[in-house]
């Protein structure tokens, strides 16, 4: 990106002043090297988002921002329904409520190394992963609607997990306002056999070691110490979320024209929040959030059963579960008062600070865990939300490293087998049904996750707590 297009306000805050149709500034949070390496499309998309009706304060891009559909991935924007604010399917993304769940194990590195190969094979065999993967669960029409309304609470009620898990999940495991009747038959059909599956792309299940602690006090509150073994599950709403996104983008393109909304890019298709299409989308999108929460809850139960068989001494309580492709109604301070806003986070993680009432009591003093995933051989991070993030980006932070090159480029650069062998030489076991998928997700195809996390920390979006490095990765 050309830095001459931006005004640098701090070492990690870059501003695009309003021009043309922009209603608010666009702000990028990143270090100078990260901004330089961003493609120009991030600039264009951040500017276009700033021109949407009812946007409040600014259009934001996180340190991992890269080119997405309509909104940049790593984009954050909040809209006021009282000012004609809109909801955009492109501002949520196709994999609705894709997110990360982190589990403790009570194990140490030596415990895993003693059974590493057996554990990797058992997880790979019993956790369905890959394009079109299906599980053993088949939902009829009644159970499909119950799942879309109930989320992780539905899953726990049917025996997949523990009641105490729900205290450590956004929305206590159930997104209110879901309307399963707004989800198409085709979307439900695609999901009927996909519950309890990882899917493909950048989705994964990793067994990880805590290799560094940056904030001992918060780490202790989160139950993390150097040498601990944890598990991260990264997945979303699978085919159902993608179908909802596809269908509503078409409906929103028509609705925008009907409501006189001029779009700089057709991919920014949107509808007024209070319109029929806007309300239909919100009902379907919330149902997809519940689908993702239920999916990760079922996967948690499957993982616990594998560990029970392979490492019976392990205990797997939940640290936290947080999504990074959502639109949620939240109360934020704007211009000296509080307003109810529709906050879009696309490839961006909610990061509530200490004391926020929506956080579980056990975590409230420390702030919300912010879970940042790496890519197979790279590290992942646990951060904590800050009080400052409320004013800086509606309590939002990055969600991962962000791609540095396209999947097509990665395929031309790496071979999946070599990636697997190179990581095995470093003590990291990779299991996947697709060598092509591994090549597409090669660690070097992504930005430096440590640089992204350092920028988020320096910008005050979230505080670094711990670094995690993989020992086993099940890749979709």
Active site residues: 399
- What is residue 355's three-state secondary structure? coil
Strands 26-29 and 59-66: parallel
Query: CB-side exposure of 113: number of CA atoms within 13 Å?
Result: 9
- C-alpha to C-alpha distance for 59 and 28, rounded to whole angstroms: 8
Query: Phi, psi at residue 346, to the nearest 5°?
Result: -110, 110
Q: What is the CA radius of gyration of the chain?
A: 21
> Other CB atoms closer than 10 Å to residue 355's CB: what's the count?
11
List own/partner pairs for 359-366 with CB under 8 A and 24 or more apart. 360/167, 360/168, 362/167, 362/221, 363/168, 363/221, 363/222, 363/320, 365/221, 366/217, 366/218, 366/221, 366/222
Give 90-118 as a DSSP string: GGT-SSTT-EEEEEEEEEEHHHHHTTHHH
Residue 266 is classified by DSSP as: G
Which residues is 233 bridged to in the sheet?
101, 205
Edge to edge, what strands does the sheet with 13-16 contain?
Answer: 7-10, 13-16, 26-29, 59-66, 73-79, 337-346, 325-334
Asked if residue 114 lies in contact with residue 239, where contact means CB atoms within 8 angstroms, the answer is no
Strands 396-397 and 349-350: antiparallel
Q: How many residues does the chain have?
A: 476
Query: Phi, psi at residue 329, to the nearest 5°?
Result: -85, 120
């Amino acid at each position: 990106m050309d830095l001459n297009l931006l005004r640098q306000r701090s070492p990690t805050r870059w501003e695009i002043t309003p021009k043309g149709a922009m209603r608010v500034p666009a702000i990028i949070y990143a270090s100078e090297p990260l901004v330089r390496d961003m493609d120009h499309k991030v600039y264009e998309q951040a500017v276009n988002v700033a021109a949407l009706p009812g946007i409040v304060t600014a259009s934001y891009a996180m340190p991992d921002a890269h080119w997405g559909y309509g909104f940049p991935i790593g984009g954050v924007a909040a809209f006021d329904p009282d000012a004609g604010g809109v909801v955009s399917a492109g501002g949520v993304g196709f994999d609705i409520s894709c997110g990360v769940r982190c589990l403790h194990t009570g194990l140490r590195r030596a415990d895993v190394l003693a059974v590493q190969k057996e554990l990797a094979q058992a997880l790979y065999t019993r956790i369905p992963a890959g394009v079109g993967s299906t599980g053993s669960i088949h939902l009829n029409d009644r159970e499909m609607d119950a799942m879309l309304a109930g989320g992780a609470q539905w899953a726990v009620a049917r025996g997949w997990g523990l009641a105490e898990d729900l205290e450590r999940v956004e929305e206590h495991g159930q997104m209110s306002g879901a309307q399963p009747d707004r989800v198409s038959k085709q979307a439900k059909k695609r999901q009927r056999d996909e519950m309890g599956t990882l899917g493909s792309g950048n989705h994964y299940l990793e067994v990880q070691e805590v290799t560094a602690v940056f904030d001992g006090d918060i780490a202790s509150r989160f139950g993390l110490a150097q040498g601990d073994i944890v598990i991260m599950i990264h997945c979303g709403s699978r085919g159902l979320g993608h179908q909802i996104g596809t269908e509503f983008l078409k409906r929103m393109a028509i609705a925008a024209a009907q409501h006189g909304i001029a779009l700089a890019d057709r991919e920014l298709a949107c509808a007024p929040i209070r319109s029929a299409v806007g309300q239909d989308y919100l009902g379907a999108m919330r149902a997809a959030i519940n689908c993702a929460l239920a999916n990760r809850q079922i996967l948690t139960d499957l993982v616990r059963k594998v560990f029970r068989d392979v490492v019976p001494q392990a205990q797997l309580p939940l640290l936290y579960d947080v999504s990074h492709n959502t639109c949620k109604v939240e109360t934020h301070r704007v211009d000296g008062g509080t307003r109810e806003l529709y906050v879009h986070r696309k490839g961006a993680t909610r990061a509530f600070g200490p004391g926020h009432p929506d956080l579980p009591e056990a975590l409230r003093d420390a702030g919300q865990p912010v879970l940042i995933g790496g890519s197979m051989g790279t590290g992942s991070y646990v951060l904590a939300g800050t009080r400052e993030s409320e004013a800086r980006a509606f309590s939002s932070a990055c969600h991962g490293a962000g791609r540095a090159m396209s999947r097509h480029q990665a395929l031309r650069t790496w071979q999946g087998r070599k990636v697997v062998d190179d990581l095995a030489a470093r003590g990291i076991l990779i299991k996947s049904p697709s060598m092509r998928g591994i090549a597409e997700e090669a660690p070097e195809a992504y930005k430096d996750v440590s640089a992204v996390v350092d920028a988020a920390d320096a910008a005050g979006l979230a505080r670094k707590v711990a670094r995690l490095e993989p020992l086993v990765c099940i890749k979709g």
